[in-house]
Chain A
Amino acid sequence: MSTDKKPPPLSLHELQQLQWLLGGVLALFSAWTVFYLDVEAWTMVGLTTLGVAAALVRPEWPAYVPTWVHRLAFPVIALTTLYDLWSAGQVLPAMVRLDLMLLLYRGISYRARRDDLQLVVLGLFLVVVAGVLSVSIAFAVQIVVFTACALALLLVVTLTDAAQGGSAPPLAKANVRPAWVAHLDWGRLLRRLREVADWRVVTLGLALFVGVVVVSGLLFLAIPRFQIESGLFLDRFIAKKARTGFSENIRFGDVNDIIQDDGLAVSIDVTDPRQMPATPYLRMLVLDEYRLEGGFRLSAGLRRATFEAERTTAQFAGTGRGRFAEAVAWTIYLESGVSRFLPLPGPFHLLRFSEAQNVQFSPRLQVVSLRNEPASMTAFRLESPVTAAVLPDAKFTLTLKEAPRDDAGRWRRSARLMLGLPLIGEDQIKLGQIADEILAGNVTMPPLEFARRAGEWLGRRHSYALGSRLPEGRGDPLVRWLGSREPGHCELFAGSFVLLARVAGYPARLVVGFKGGTWNAFSNNLTLRNRDAHAWAEIWNGENAWVRVDPTPGALSAVGDTEPTGSAAQERRLDRSWTARLESLRVFWYRRIVNFDQRTQLEIFRALKAATQRTGARLREAVEQGWRRGRAWLAQPWGAQRAATVLGGAAVVAGACWLAWKFRRDWRWQWRQRSGRRVDPVRREAGRWLRRLTGRTVSAGGEAAHAAVCAELERLRYGAPETWPEPAAVFRRARATAACAPTCPTRRG
């Protein structure tokens, strides 16, 4: 009766309508993933969205497209792509636009089975390319939703084919309206879907899909990884323009512009958070050449002198060895659009990328640059980094020793010695006067003392403000600002300090990077935003090293001092906001998924092995403990009452077991009847014995008994219950026959 009340299953037309709906949704979803790519395809995305949405709402419209449009579609698409490749010269954007054109065409024309398959492949291409190039956590959501849609579409295609007798007939003409279009009513279809959906089947389907995600997660962990160290396969097909960030040329205000951006720039995982300074400085770029146009840059000479040749590698050795040797490691996740120069705390022992990169390293400057700005997040691991404010440079010491000096014993002004100063006339005089004021006649003042005094001088004359401006007038802008009492930002303070130091005869340079950051209390990592971008200076200490000087008012560290570390320092910058919660998800994605490699895999396997061994040891211990307790219990004195209690308990247990064995078939039969499985246990048992006896070789002389038992079993299995022999006796005989027969079964057909 209950079967009669069930609504009829979906008809062929309803299945085809569902197929159209799922195909359209899949096309739209795939097209929208282009939003995550930095590809100029907005027109195509808009056209695809409009076209596919219109075809979804009014599926009769594709029938109005004339036949010649369908004939010309593919040649036009191919020619457009060729022109795109020729004009733009970039493979990947052209491929993305081609994919969108094909998606649009498939979305607005009636589809056969192979066309739906093509739709799935085209969509997968877009999702994967967007994921690879963005490395965004949104990819996880995109690929899961895409998989669900694609599997649902393929399932419906299979059901439609089965309903049409195994395979759908090919479409006669692209502009002939299929029969299902005439009966289409989306509201009615959704109601029908709700009617025919059995909640148990839906639940099972959802559970299976969750199972797919879990299995894919396990496969992701278990797939063996090899370090082939090739890579860069998609990056080379796209030329990405920097949206913001640090480059070799920094004009006054560039860093300040970056500070306006509140986006995430760098996330740092540290093996021991207590080693992280309270306000870490991350150096990205050293700028030595001051230009009259205003601003510093990395000079070509310094670049040639200090940078090694470019190499493609997944890891290379640095020059430093940290305080904690191998125990210390920082994993740094640099967001795209920040810079092609990597943020580093200082010297390091080893730098390891998650995939091979084209990289240039300057051991003297402790600067690492990639060939191109990364199109996606770049992760790298620093082994044993040094966070000291002093950077030794033995080669510069030699250079200074050999450099010519003037009569007063000062080095002659030279760009090579970080003493270059292109100022002329009044600017130089004004700058010299300020330097003299700071030196107060002591021309042999130690560099660090000069740095302290210059910082104080700048702090007295200028206050800190993000919205600062350079005073109007003639001459060098930085000198104008020095002469005024205008507030300034970090670039102005650091740049002014470098000029003052150089005019006073102390080699100095500008450094840009990040400073500070917050400690995410949820993901337990350091987060640096673009607003943490900073500029500071480094001055030569007169002996063998560059010393960090941060002349910006409010800088916590004194000249050359190492930042404090430890729990107290960590507590000072703890972030427990909702933004931190959301960013902890992104860090989890980077930490556990994007940055997962062979080493992490081995760590997981080792952890698994250790957990198994621990569990085994605990079990063994529990068994041994139980055994000891049992022995102690047995060793206790046995009185009559105790013996009677034990014997009684044993008898009760044995009786219960015997009853369970005796009536097992009846109980099972009743249970199966209650649960709706109405297969007689006697028949089931007979079937089981038949299977056991059917393939066996029969010993000589036992054929008759074997055949008789088999006949009785067949009667129990298939015959009417009135004609049954006594089942228990038959099963006893079957057991005896099986025991007599050899164990080796004959081959079954």
Chain B
Amino acid sequence: MASVATASPRRFWRRLLWSLVFPRARQRIQPTVSGTILIALALCIGTAAYNSANNILFITLSLLLACLVLSGVLSWLNLRGIRWRLQAEPPWRVGEETTVALALHNGKRVLPTYGLWFDFKAVPETPVAEDAPPATAARPKRTRERPLREILAAADRAVTRGRRYLGDRLPPGGDVPLHWNFTPMRRGRVQLAVENVGSLFPFGFLRKSHALDLCRDLVVWPAPVEYRRWGGVAARLPSPGERIRRTGNSADLLALRRYAPGDSHRLIHWKASARTRQLLVRQFGAESQEGYALRFEPAAELWPRAEQFELAVSFAGTLAEDLFRAGRLQAVALGAEPPFAVRRGADLETFLDRLAVVERTPGPASALSTGTAPGHRNLITFAPEGARTVAAYVDGQKTAST
């Protein structure tokens, strides 16, 4: 324990002294053009002062150095007490501009804050998908061993960056949002981060920036695509005795669930709420039992071309949304997984989240996904159509295509 008591103050002083002579980790200070000129002037005047032992020059040199010190103090005061919060509300879709907000708060009581900038960055989790080269073909050495520089350049191209300036002053105790408009270019997980906060304040001598640990993981849904319907294929009515349960607006009570903000008070089941001591609301069954199940097969065997796979993912997402809006989406599934009932918007969002990150899987396509397995009716599946387009099939019959 004694060592704990003595080591901490020692460490504190050591760190304090070290921080005075060396910038903290992840802090960066670069001289600007004016700063470089100031430093060059200081060097010239210092040389002349030592050369001539002229105290007028020593005074000028001292004043220049003191201005640098003042610049550091004002810069520190400017950044002190600033708090920030990243606000990024889903959904994010490929090709749709999304606004990211950084809520800034000045915690200082007297001093305003000026001239900050924030570096935003959106990093996709996986690099850009490329067509897998043929396994048997002889590949040139340069292609097989891609230079590190190319890999880094490709990764850098996938990263979207943006810098936003705090144009007006941030008054003491005040709040101001800083917006960054960002258009995701591909689906998948994206790490949204605010990399740095920086400033040239007060005199523009030094470009000072601090690295920030401000990030959020988000999912970018596939882009909506346009498709053509091929009429004539209607959903099959359920056979007698077959029961399909999904929510709707009919008079049949389907289930009870917890109250959620926004639910109508008329739906509250008072008896059950009193018994369980928590608010429960009634869910009713749908008027119509007509609906579709959607299954998307990500097998690489089915989708040898990457861009066609991407199109298929977007097509599946678009179709799922359209069917849900029409109240005709019953269940969804990916690959050989069992179907997942879609009763509310959150279920659809879950499916879209999974679609956003789905990748081609090695191995053959399951029989379930081709719509040829017995016992599956009104099942929508997807398959390539030609070299570029994708078609959707209901129970094996083509019903729409891109």
Contacts and interface: CB of A to CB of B under 8 A. Distances in A.
Nearest to A742: B4
Contacts of B74: 208
Given A223-B61, A594-B56, A198 B51 contact: no
Given A154-B202, A208-B73, 10 more contacts: A128-B56, A155-B202, A155-B203, A158-B200, A158-B201, A211-B73, A215-B69, A215-B70, A219-B62, A739-B4
A597 B168 CA distance: 48
A230 B49 CA distance: 10
A233 B51 contact: yes
A597 B54 CA distance: 9
A229 B61 CA distance: 19
A231 B204 CA distance: 34
Given A158-B203, A161-B200, A355-B53, A6 B171 contact: yes
Interface size class of B (residues with CB under 8 A): 35 or more
Interface in A210-241: 211-213, 215-217, 219-220, 223, 225-234
A143 interface: yes
B3 interface: yes
A230 B47 CA distance: 11
A211 B66 CA distance: 9
B63 A216 contact: yes
Contact of B111 (A135, A143, A164, A204): A204
A157 interface: yes
Contacts of B200: 158, 161-162
Nearest to A592: B55
A9 B70 contact: no
Contact of A223 (B56, B62, B117): B62
A201 B115 contact: no
A161 B67 contact: no
Interface in B39-83: 41, 45, 48, 50-63, 65-67, 69-70, 73-74
B59 A220 contact: yes
A139 B116 CA distance: 36
A188 B56 CA distance: 40
Contacts of A71: none
A457 B34 CA distance: 75
B169 to A, nearest CB: 5
Nearest to B205: A154
Contacts of B3: 743
Contacts of B41: 121, 124
A154 B203 contact: yes
Interface residues of A, number: 66
Contact of B168 (A163, A200, A233): A163
Nearest to B25: A748
A165 B165 contact: yes
A228 B37 contact: no
B306 to A, nearest CB: 34
Interface of A: 3, 6, 9, 114, 117, 121, 124, 128, 131-132, 135, 139-140, 143, 147, 151, 154-155, 157-159, 161-166, 198, 200-201, 204, 208-209, 211-213, 215-217, 219-220, 223, 225-234, 314, 354-356, 593-597, 676-677, 739, 743, 749
B57 A132 contact: yes
B145 interface: no
B167 interface: yes
B4 A593 contact: no
Interface string B93-106: 00000000000000
Contact of B56 (A124, A132, A219): A132
B52 A231 contact: yes
A749 B26 CA distance: 10
B1 A739 contact: yes
Contacts of B48: 233
Which among B7, B34, B37, B114 has the highest number of chain A CB atoms within 10 Å? B34
Contacts of A163: 167-168
Given A3-B171, A593-B55, A117 B34 contact: yes
Contacts of B37: 117, 121
B136 to A, nearest CB: 44
A519 B202 CA distance: 48
B115 A162 contact: yes
Given A166-B117, A212-B70, A228-B50, A593 B110 contact: no
A124 B110 CA distance: 33
B110 A204 contact: yes
B112 interface: yes
Contact of B114 (A159, A209, A212): A159
B70 A355 contact: no
A162 B201 CA distance: 9
